[in-house]
Amino acid sequence: MTAAIAIAMRTDKQEVSPLAIFANGQTIYSDGEKCDWAYRVAFGAVSLYRVLACGRRQIVSFHLAGEWFGIEQGRRRQFTAEAIGPTGILCANLAADQCSALLPAVLDALWSAREHQLVISRQSSHERVAAFLLEISERTQDKRRFDLPMPRADIADYLGLTIESVSRAITRLKCSNAIRLVGPRGVEILDRDRLRSFCD
Amino acid sequence: MTAAIAIAMRTDKQEVSPLAIFANGQTIYSDGEKCDWAYRVAFGAVSLYRVLACGRRQIVSFHLAGEWFGIEQGRRRQFTAEAIGPTGILCANLAADQCSALLPAVLDALWSAREHQLVISRQSSHERVAAFLLEISERTQDKRRFDLPMPRADIADYLGLTIESVSRAITRLKCSNAIRLVGPRGVEILDRDRLRSFCD
DNA sequence: CGAAATCTTGAACAACCTCAATCGGCGTGG
DNA sequence: CCACGCCGATTGAGGTTGTTCAAGATTTCG
């Protein structure tokens, strides 16, 4: 957490502090820090990741507008949280008595984590990318036409692939007319069923 | 859930019912069922899995003695839970007011799920198997010498590998003198540091 | 407009999977 | 008691998929 933001948050003792704004690539919290706060994305996106001993980075989850992250009561941070593009974050104090509000968010996170396990352990590169596009689609406003908040490198580190494999898979989905690209970030789903059929 | 067990559980309206015993391979609950209960392993082991459209089975977690599973309040079961070997299960009613007790268990599950994500997305077969042995070791009584409750097929479906790859990795760990096998199920960790060094 | 970053594409290689045979323990029955 | 069959685990050979390394294309931004 950068100093400026930490001060901004500490000035507000309410349950939910005002918006804290992070620039692209800025760290919200780091692996190993104490867990004092839970967070919610107001706008933009956040990635949770760890850099492994071998130097590779694994992103375990993305969090889009409206979604909670960083609920890890009574522990040290398991991962680093980083803003993807300009991102607004709402902060909530991690008091024990709020568990009734936090439990659903944690159950959601567990649900997502396990669905993601299915994707990254057994699926081919095309299946992973197709599943990823559908996943993002379901979590954004316009489910047909949306912009990926993150670069290919982040998608690759999330899906356990290389940038090249992600690119090739996207190209193939494009050539099959399941999707259309609007620049590198814009995605339009032309045939959701066909896209789904790529998910095995 | 088999009829016999369901009756045994329904007769007890307490928070924790007496032990229900399951045979090897018996289903505790199935994908899609209502979530009325949370469970705790008394003895034996449990796997949570789903069979994908392509016919492959993915195990998302193992649960050993003392561990909670099946906390999925207000949803349908995301996975099927199955006993590995003779297994005793304690059942708890999933009342909303117990969230203070359940939250830590869910946070644990989320923690484990994400650590597992790191293993299955980026690691080689040897790294996965080494990490798996260390993980099981940390969760059993005798951390140096223990028996794997599950067959190779389950390990493979958990690590996103084939039986053959698991077998080859184990053979390699054995030949490097990091571990010793006592029959196919028994494992003795001879050199924990070396085993850890395989985890990259 | 130009430079840097991001994305795409290509070719050779390595890792894992598939298919297949073999080994080993264990229970049954001759 | 031993032979047989079964099931799980191991080992081997060849094919597929994704990675690596490298070059080129596109986008972004000062």
Q: How far does A121 lie from chain B, in Å, by closest CA?
A: 5
- Residue of A127, A191, A195, A196 whose CA lies nearest to A165: A127
Amino acid type, B96? A
**Helix (H) or strand (E) run with residue A129 in it:** helix A125-138
pLDDT score of B16 = 52
- Computed over every residue of chain A, the mean pLDDT equals 89
Q: What is the mean pLDDT of residues B97-119?
A: 87
Smallest CA–CA distance, residue B107 to chain A, in Å, is: 7
Q: Do A116 and B117 touch (CB under 8 A)?
A: yes
Q: Closest chain B residue to A56 measured between Cα atoms?
A: B122
In the predicted model, is pLDDT for residue A12 greater than 70?
A: no
Chain length of chain B: 200
pLDDT at B133 over 50: yes
A87 and A162 in contact (C-beta within 8 Å)? no
Considering only residues A66 and A99, tell me which one the structure prediction assigns the higher pLDDT: A66
Which CATH code fits A3-98? 2.60.120.10
- Chain D bases closer than 7 A to any CB of the protein: 8-13, 17-22, 27-28
What does the pLDDT read at residue B14? 45
Between B129 and B4, name the one with better pLDDT: B129
Amino acid at position B15, single letter: E
For residue A7, pLDDT beyond 90: no
Query: Is the shortest CB-to-strand distance from A188 to strand C under 7 Å?
Result: no
Say whether B117 and A115 touch across the interface (CB within 8 A). no
> Chain centroid to CA B150: how far?
9
pLDDT at B3: 40
Closest Cα in chain A, distance from residue B66 (Å): 20
Q: What is the pLDDT of residue A75?
A: 80
Select from B122, B123, B125, B162 the residue whose CB has the most chain A CBs within 10 Å, as the one to mutate to test that interface. Answer: B122
Beta strands B20-22 and A27-29 are unpaired
Q: What are the phi and psi torsion angles at A112 (to 5°)?
A: -65, -45
**Nearest protein residue to the C1' atom of C25, measured from CA:** B183
Q: Report the DSSP beta bridge partners of residue B147.
A: B186
**End-to-end CA, chain A:** 41
Q: Which helix (H) or strand (E) holds B171?
A: helix B163-175
The reported pLDDT for the residue numbered A17 is 60
The C-alpha atoms of residue A45 and residue A88 are separated, in whole angstroms, by 8
* B181 CB inside 7 Å of strand D: yes
Using CA atoms, how far apart are residues A140 and B22, in angstroms rounded to an integer? Answer: 43
Would you list the domain boundaries of chain B? Answer: 3-96, 118-197
Å separating the CA of residue B63 from the C1' of nucleotide C29: 39
pLDDT tens digit sequence for B18-54 = 899 999 999 999 999 999 889 999 999 999 999 998 8
- B191 contact partners, CB below 8 Å, separation of at least 6: B177, B178, B179
pLDDT at A98: 64
pLDDT beyond 50 at A10:
no
CB spacing of A114 vs B79 below 8 angstroms: yes
Contacts of A111 in chain B (CB under 8 A): 72, 75, 78
Mean pLDDT of A84-99: 82
Do domains B3-96 and B118-197 share one topology? The answer is no
pLDDT bin (cut points 50, 70, 90) of residue B13 is very low
CATH of B118-197, one of 1.20.1260.10, 3.10.180.10, 3.30.230.70, 1.10.10.10: 1.10.10.10
A111-140 mean pLDDT: 96
Report pLDDT digits (tens) over B184-199.
Answer: 999 999 999 999 999 8
Q: Give yes or no for CB of B171 within 7 Å of strand D.
A: yes
For tokens 């794997």, the residue is B148
CATH fold of the domain at A119-197: Arc Repressor Mutant, subunit A (1.10.10)
Q: What is the CATH number of domain B3-96?
A: 2.60.120.10
- Statement: residue B67 has pLDDT above 50: yes
Poorest-confidence range of A44-58, A127-141, B1-15, B169-183? B1-15
> pLDDT category, B9, cuts 50, 70, 90?
very low
